[in-house]
Amino acid sequence: MRNLPDPNIVARIAQILRRACRLLFITGAGISADSGLPTYRGIGGLYNNQLTADQVPIEIALSGAMLAANPAITWRYLHQIEETCRGAQFNDAHAIIAQWQEQFEVWVLSQNIDGFHRAAGSCNLIEIHGDIHDLFCTRCAYEASVPDYAGLTLPPACPRCHALVRPRVVLFGETLPPGAIVQLYQELDRGFDLVFSIGTTSVFPYIAGPVMQASQMGVPTVEINPANTNVTDFVDYKLTAGAAVSLRAIREAYLKASTRQRSRGVGASRPEAIVVPDPAKAEALDSRQPPKISRALASSSSISRSASVQSWASLPPVKLRFSAL
């Protein structure tokens, strides 16, 4: 039997949600688990502490260096990842986040390359890792978008100049797309009222950084993940259930709370007090000016569970590393 979200925690999150304006959702492979896609690390992860069939870690197989040295290996695992997405569709978790655009200003920072957030209707979307279906030539200006890799000869060659074709995703060791980073910094500078981390182990600083910076700034934080991660010790609320069941529960609690308020005839008066762990967080929310989250969250160093919140504030903006997973 799957874990169900704690109703007491769900109720508290719903109360905070009623007072929020700007929401940030940071999502990883776990949010697509209910669509039938495997996660890549964590519980049931496809590559969790295992070598690939080529006897190298997935981080090596899906690296820029491997693509240059032996593109057949990199394309083998790109094809495997795309094949797991083939025929799948977005689930309730993606849909609820998109639907909340009607009540809130919602931003999504997604590590996923499956395209489900966009298909569900999310507009303010930072696809930090690209889209596996977008291809381009490594030599000429050729580019294409394909529904899947079923008809590709691997590794694919450019139909114009016969050079290697690759997907428009960032592999291990490669830098993140500058446009996405600029957009992320701009939105963090504007601030958020509530930050969610959903279905990600948060191994990379630019994914864990916004959560930890939010915690430091007094912004309420929520993690939805069956397993403990690199940000678990820093979030205010932890739901150890799946993404879809958790967001359905939060949506239901939010709607019930809103209905109760309307039935009381409260009108334009302020809603009931928020239950949050720290009075400073309530003060930050009550100001209606979301605290800004520092952009000093980018680092090529690895995250450790012992990292302090203070250490994140001093991280210099250097070359970013990321996983296409």
Q: Is the bond preceding residue 155 a cis peptide, omega within 30 degrees?
A: yes
**Higher pLDDT, residue 306 or 148:** 148
Characterize 100-111 residue by residue with b for buried, 16 or more Cβ atoms within 10 angstroms of its Cβ, and e for exposed: bbeeebbbbbbb
Mean pLDDT value of segment 101-113: 96
Mean pLDDT value of segment 279-306: 41
Q: Is 128 helix (H, G, I), strand (E, B) or coil?
A: coil
What's the mean pLDDT when you consider all of the chain?
Answer: 82
Q: Is the pLDDT of residue 79 over 60?
A: yes
pLDDT digits (tens, 9 = 90+) for 177-191: 999 999 999 999 999
The catalytic residue positions are 129
Nearest alpha carbon to residue 31 among 177, 225, 169, 166: 225
Mean pLDDT value of segment 60-77: 96
Q: What is the largest CA-CA distance in the chain?
A: 69
What per-residue confidence (pLDDT) applies to 273?
32
Superfamily of domain 58-87+130-169: SIR2/SIRT2 'Small Domain' (3.30.1600.10)
**Higher pLDDT, residue 276 or 180:** 180
What per-residue confidence (pLDDT) applies to 298?
40
Dihedral of the CA atoms 264, 266, 270, 276 (nearest 10)? 10
Mean pLDDT value of segment 246-259: 95
Q: Is the pLDDT of residue 19 over 60?
A: yes
Q: Is the pLDDT of residue 281 over 70?
A: no
What per-residue confidence (pLDDT) applies to 122?
98
Q: pTM of the predicted model, to two decimals?
A: 0.79
Q: Is the pLDDT of residue 278 over 80?
A: no
Contact assessment for residue 210 and residue 109, using Cβ atoms and an 8 Å cutoff: yes
Task: Write down the H helix ranges in the chain.
Answer: 7-19, 58-61, 64-69, 71-85, 92-99, 116-120, 178-190, 205-217, 243-263, 279-286, 309-313
What per-residue confidence (pLDDT) applies to 260?
78
Residues in the chain: 325
What per-residue confidence (pLDDT) applies to 39?
63
d(CA 145, CA 203): 29
> What residues does each domain of the chain span?
7-37+89-128+176-268+277-313, 58-87+130-169
Q: What is the CA radius of gyration of the chain?
A: 20
Which CATH number does the domain 7-37+89-128+176-268+277-313 belong to among 3.60.15.10, 3.40.50.1370, 3.40.50.1220, 1.10.645.10?
3.40.50.1220
